[in-house]
Amino acid sequence: MDKTQRMQWWRHGRFGMFIHFGLYSPAAGTWQGKDWPGAGEWLLTNAKADPVEYRNTLLSTFNPVKFNAVEWAQIAKDAGMQYVVITTKHHDGFCLWQSELTDYDVASTPFKRDIMKELAQAVRAEGLHMGWYHSIMDWTHPDYLPRREWDSRPADPLSFPRYVQYMHAQLKELLTKYGRIDVLWFDGEWESTWTHDWGKRTDDWVRSLQPQIIVNNRVDTGRAGLAGFASHDGARGDFGTPEQTIPNNGMPGQDWETCMTMNDTWGFKDSDSNWKSSRTLIRMLCDIASKGGNFLLNVGPRGDGSFPPESVQRLKDMGAWLRVNGKSIYGTQASPFPRPLPWGRVTRAGSTLYLHVFDWPAQGTIDLPGLHNRVVSASVIGSDSARATVARMEGGVRVSLAGSAPHSDVSVVELVLEGEPHVEPQHIGAGSDGRVTCSAADAHTTGSIQYETRFHNLGFWTDPTSTATWSIKLPTAGRYAVSVEYSSIPHCAGEIQVTVGAQKLSAVLPARGGWEDFATVQVGLTDIPAAVPVLVEARALTKPGEAFVNLRSVTLAPAK
């Protein structure tokens, strides 16, 4: 089936529920009386538990008597979510469906019921799409390799192909006994045994069973860490999977979905109360939509099968916001502006722009720099009293807001434009001291690079092909000294290349004392012509260790 057709509902849907549920849920982060640091679903590894003991101890504790598939599906629906993806099997190998291929499944617990069957029915009854998460890594299966370091079960070098056979047979159960499955969300693909070839075979297998299915990029190798995009040509998978992070400029030309927890764990953990606020989550949804991505937001049900009340409250808040403002999210496209605007975010639907105003000025304006179109109409969604009026300003459009914000977290202004949005690129100019500062926040980035707000730098430079670019434009020509401000960790030196127009400069960046330890290094001299935009680009010339450097800025200072 053609990709555009297959992806249609997913691209429109924008917002889904991730569910992590398994033997780790009743354990709630505790093993042998101790609460272990780390994510709840990683309990076996966090506690270095013996896999056989883990299995034998926890199977009998799984009895989610409050589990109600209809209730779960309704909560997702009321939150405005369009799909649900649940862990059929996580890294600990426990199967949440009644599998004929193992006794390490829900049928062997006191609960017995096929949770996957009940949930798939309930989710579809709500008109939502159903997806399976499935871990390739399996810490307890006797044929999975490599073993955890403390696992002394003998390893047979030929066992891994048998493991894949088992996994394929299990996938067949999951893809033939539960009706139409819309997403297959692989994970745990990063250990040495999983290869591009296994990825291809598995992708082919899954699609032969459900031709319309959408498969994530973790079916294959090389997803460039938690940044989550496919980093080699011919990599399988329909969409990129940034985990716990929102890519700086989205992933132009790729479908992608950020998966995220509401606190710090995927599987339920008693001791984790570090909840993001509803405001943060609603703004994240806007941020992701403005960059053209989907949001897969996690719930880790308690061992009794109930959702934590903190999760339910946040989902209610998001649903209430979406019931009013949903048309600014569902089916929209990425913002036509090259980077986030200081007051909020923008999405687009045809010739309509939706302005997600985070900080509503009591009596004030927000700017749309570079917007060329005539504005046909401006209105504030969900308010009879608040008003938005539009005026042209030098090189763009200024929107004046009056009245109180219709929503305290994000208020939405709908602008109908004449024609498709046309935005002039924005150029960085010189400050009053004549210096041109290309700062991390203004960079256009590709690859794995993420803007980090803590030290206002570009970090996660793990992919050497990543680039950061800025466009500058100066009224008069001149000679400039180029410098970079960066930090790094000990033993981690690298060479940076800064290209200014057609001129390539480079400098060695010596190792620093830590990611918070910034220094400035001169890169060289360059001549800038007058009145034409010039591109400034930074990239790594050396292969990064843990990461290349954290880059805070590239500065051009007038040279005498």
Please give the residue ranges that form the binding site for ligand H79 (CB under 6 A). Answer: 39, 41-42, 187, 190, 225-226, 243, 259, 266
Output 21 or 330, the one with its CB closest to ligand H79: 21
Cα angle 244, 550, 539; round to 5: 105
CA distance 475 to 365: 28
* Closer to ligand H79 by Cβ: residue 46 or 488: 46
Which lies closer to ligand H79 via its Cβ, residue 42 or residue 360? 42
**Residue 51 beta carbon to ligand H79: minimum distance, rounded to whole angstroms:** 17
The distance of closest approach from Cβ of residue 234 to ligand H79 in the complex, given in angstroms and rounded to an integer, is 20
- Which one, 229 or 321, has the nearer CB to ligand H79? 229
Question: Do the strands 183-187 and 457-459 form a parallel or antiparallel pair, or are they unpaired?
Answer: unpaired
Q: Which CB atom, from 301 or from 406, has the smaller least distance to ligand H79?
A: 301
Q: How far is the CB of 191 from ligand H79 (least distance, A)?
A: 8
Q: Which is nearer to ligand H79, 29 or 421 (CB)?
A: 29
- Angle at the Cα of 143 from the Cα atoms of 138 and 146, rounded to 5 degrees: 60
Taking the C-alpha atoms of residue 468 and residue 256, their distance in angstroms, rounded to an integer, is 20
User: Which residue's CB is nearer to ligand H79, number 266 or number 307?
Assistant: 266
Pairing of strands 494-500, 534-540: antiparallel
Q: Report CA torsion sign: 345, 323, 415, 258.
A: positive
Task: Please tell me what DSSP assigns to residue 416.
Answer: E
**Nearest distance from C-beta of residue 90 to ligand H79, angstroms:** 6
Q: How far apart are the first and last CA of the chain?
A: 63
For residues 47 and 496, which CB has a smaller minimum distance to ligand H79 in the complex? Answer: 47
Secondary structure letter of residue 423 according to DSSP:
B
**Of 225 and 478, which has the nearer Cβ to ligand H79?**
225
CB of 204 to ligand H79, least distance (A): 23
State how far the Cα of 249 lies from the Cα of 17, in Å rounded to an integer: 23
Number of other residues whose CB lies within 10 A of the CB of residue 285: 27
Cα gap 213→10, rounded to integer Å: 11
Residue 8 CB, shortest distance to ligand H79, in Å, is 25
Going by C-beta distance under 8 Å and a sequence separation of 6 or more, which residues neighbour residue 499? 505, 535, 536, 537, 538, 539
Q: Name the residue nearer to ligand H79 (CB basis): 182 or 243.
A: 243
Report whether 261 contacts 229 (CB < 8 A): no
The SS3 assignment for 135 reads strand
Query: Phi and psi (nearest 5°) for 26?
Result: -65, -30
Q: Which two tokens stand for residue 153?
A: 């079960």
CA 448 to chain centre: 12
Q: Please tell me the distance from the alpha carbon of residue 407 to that of residue 478, in angstroms, as a whole number.
A: 49
The distance of closest approach from Cβ of residue 329 to ligand H79 in the complex, given in angstroms and rounded to an integer, is 22
Would you say 126 or 270 has its CB closer to ligand H79?
270
CB of 267 to ligand H79, least distance (A): 7
Output the six-digit token pair for 130.
């159903």
Q: Write down the least CB distance from residue 41 to ligand H79, Å.
A: 5
Residue 349 CB, nearest approach to ligand H79 (Å): 30
Beta strands in 75-125 (DSSP E): 83-89
Tally of residues, the chain? 560
DSSP secondary structure code for residue 25 in this structure: H
**Of 20 and 345, which has the nearer Cβ to ligand H79?**
20
**Inter-residue contact 87 to 137 (CB < 8 Å):** no
Least distance from ligand H79 to the Cβ atom of residue 42, Å: 6
In whole angstroms, the minimum distance from the beta carbon of 438 to ligand H79 comes to: 29
Decide whether 226 or 393 has the Cβ nearer to ligand H79.
226
The SS3 call for residue 166 is: helix
Identity of the residue, 178 or 266, whose beta carbon is nearer to ligand H79 in the bound complex: 266
**In the complex, least distance from residue 19 CB atom to ligand H79, rounded to whole angstroms:** 11
* Minimum distance of ligand H79 from residue 123's CB (angstroms): 19
d(CA 199, CA 189): 9
Q: What is the CA angle 112-116-117, rounded to 5?
A: 85
Q: Spell out the alpha helix ranges (H) of 180-339.
A: 196-209, 278-290, 309-325
- Rounded Cα distance between 269 and 267, Å, is 6
Residue 483, sorted as left (phi over 0), alpha (psi -120 to 50) or beta, turns out to be: beta
Interatomic CA distance for residues 56 and 114, integer angstroms: 20
